[in-house]
Amino acid sequence: MIKSEKAKMLAGEQFDVYDAELVAERAATRQQVEAFNALGETDPTVSEQLIKQLFGSTGLSCSVHPTFRCDYGYNIHVGEDFFANYDCVMLDVAPITIGKHCLLGPRVQIYSVNHPLEPAQRRNGAQGIGKPVTLGDDVWVGGGAVICPGVTLGNNVVVGAGSVVVDSFGDNVVIAGNPARVVKTLTPTL
């Protein structure tokens, strides 16, 4: 049986980003995102409802400031007490899973999509490859940080502002830089 491009995407296989079904899904998501962004901060209750409809799953408390951008929405899963500040982007070709009590500073970017390294493959149509991103509980990502495809961060990780995270890290560390590296080990207090 031949897999659809969406099935390939969800399986983490190389897929055609211009497939008609995926283009239609992104267009529908864009409409939802634009409705959320147009609301601004005039009605936090409605804003939270729109985000909860957009995301695959959320905890009871989920706060996202506009503007916000994503590809599909249904691949974003956040735990209880989630907060994303202004201008965040989550490219959710593969699952983006964020634990409880997590904070994203302004302009944080989380990418779960990559593209082939070979130019010939990129020229034969925009090919994507999904790689999940996972953030544990109590993670704080500073403003302007970029989390790259395939990264997993443990619990109680702090990402310094402006950092580019290309590798995974375990629990209880502060990471910073480009590429991000451990700059401090934390003692858990919970």
The beta-carbon contacts of 38-41 under 8 Å, at least 24 apart in sequence, are 39/66, 40/66, 41/65, 41/66
Catalytic-residue membership of 115 = yes
Identify the CA nearest to 110 among candidates 82, 67, 71, 154: 71
- Helices 44-54 and 20-39 pack at an angle, to 10 degrees, of 170
16-22 contact pairs (CB < 8 A, 24+): 16/125, 16/126, 16/127, 16/128, 17/125, 17/126, 17/127, 17/128, 18/125, 18/126
Residue 154's nearest CA partner among 112, 110, 102 is 102
Please provide the DSSP assignment of 55-107 as one string.
SSB--S-EEEPSPEEES-STTEEE-SSEEE-TTEEEE-SS-EEE-TT-EE-TT
Tell me the two tokens of residue 16.
């055609």
Question: Which member of 65, 77, 101, 115 is catalytic?
Answer: 115
| Residues recognised as catalytic | 115
